[in-house]
Amino acid sequence: MNTNSNSYTIIYASVLVIIVAFLLAFVNSSLRDLQGKNVELDTKKQILSALGIREVQDAEAEFSKVVKSDMIVAEDGTLQTYEGAFITGYEKEYKENGRAHLFVCEIEGETKYVIPVYGTGLWGAIWGYVALNEDKNTVYGTYFSHASETPGLGAEIATEHFQNEFKDKNVMDGETVGLDVVKNGKVDKPEFQVDGISGGTITSVAVGQMLKGCMGHYTKFLTAKE
C-alpha cells in the first residue's frame, strides 16, 4: 500500500484524530465524578488549613465538625444561610451570582470566620482563605496556593512560614482593608502589613491586592458592630 498518497494521508489523519478525540472524551467523562470529589475535598482541606488544621487524616469529618455553616454576605452586611451544593469556584460565584461566601466555624468554643480570596499572581491564578477571629478584625490564620508561580520564589506563598506571618494582623483600617503584603523590607505599618518574599515581589504584591480586592466585598460585614 502506498502510504504517501494524498488520500491515504488525509484518511489516516482524520481517523487518528477521531480515535484520539473519542479516547480523550471517554477518559474525561468517566473520571469527571472522581475529579470533582477530589476538588471538593481539596477545597475543604484548604479551608481547614486556613484555620490551622493541617495534615488531617479525614478532612471530610473534620470539616463537618469545625465548619458550622456556609453563609452568604448580603448587601447590608448581614449573613444569610446558603442552602445550595458545596461550591468550589468562589470567583465565579461572586461575579455571576453575586454571592460572597463566608464560612462560620467554631474552634475550641470560639467563632472564626473564613473568607475565600482569589486573584492573579505573576504566571497564573492564586487563591486562598483567610480565617478571622470573632472580633472580625484580627487574622487567625491564612492559607494560600497558586497555579504556576515560580518554585522557590513566588511559590513560597504556599508555605506555612509565609502564611503564619499574617497571624494577629489587623484587617480593617477604617473603612478600607488595610491588610496587605509589601515588598520585602518595606513594611511601614506592621499592624497591617506583611513582609513580601524576596525575589517573589510580584507574587507577594499580588497576594496583597487579592486580599484588598476580595475582602473589600465583605467591608459591610467586617465593620458592622453587633
Partner 1 sequence: MGSLFSAKNKEVFSTPISMNNPVTVQVLGICSALAVTSKLEPAIVMGLSVTIITAFSNVVISLIRKTIPNRIRIIVQLVVVAALVTIVSELLKAFAYDVSVQLSVYVGLIITNCILMGRLEAFAMANGPWESCLDGLGNGLGYAKILVIVAFIRELLGSGTLLGFNILNYDAIKDAGYVNNGLMLMPPMALIIVACLIWYQRAKHPELQDKE
Nearer to partner 1, 34 or 190 (CB): 34
The single residue listed with the C-alpha cell 470560639 is 110
Measuring CA to CA, which residue among 152, 168, 161, 154 is closest to residue 210?
154
Residue type, 56: V
Nine cell digits for residue 197 = 518574599
Residues touching partner 1, count (CB under 8 A):
29
φ/ψ bin of 78: left (φ > 0), alpha (ψ from -120 to 50), beta (otherwise): beta
The greatest distance separating any two alpha carbons of the chain, rounded to the nearest whole angstrom, comes to 83
Nearer to partner 1, 80 or 148 (CB): 148
Nearer to partner 1, 27 or 74 (CB): 27
* DSSP 8-class letter at 104: E
Nearer to partner 1, 140 or 162 (CB): 162
Stretch 156-195: interaction string toward partner 1, x if CB under 8 A: ----------------------------------------
Distance CA 24, CA 4 (A): 28
Alpha-helical segments (H) within 98-183: 160-164
Under rule CB under 8 A, residue 151 binds partner 1: yes
Find the binder of partner 1 among 104, 170, 187, 199 (CB under 8 A).
Answer: 199
Find the binder of partner 1 among 14, 80, 97, 148 (CB under 8 A).
Answer: 148
> CB-based contacts of 38: which residues, under 8 Å, 6+ apart?
none
Residue type, 62: E
Stretch 20-59: interaction string toward partner 1, x if CB under 8 A: x--xx--xx--x--xx--xx-xx-----------------
Interacting residues with partner 1 (CB under 8 A): 3-4, 8-9, 12-13, 16-17, 20, 23-24, 27-28, 31, 34-35, 38-39, 41-42, 123, 147-148, 150-153, 198-199
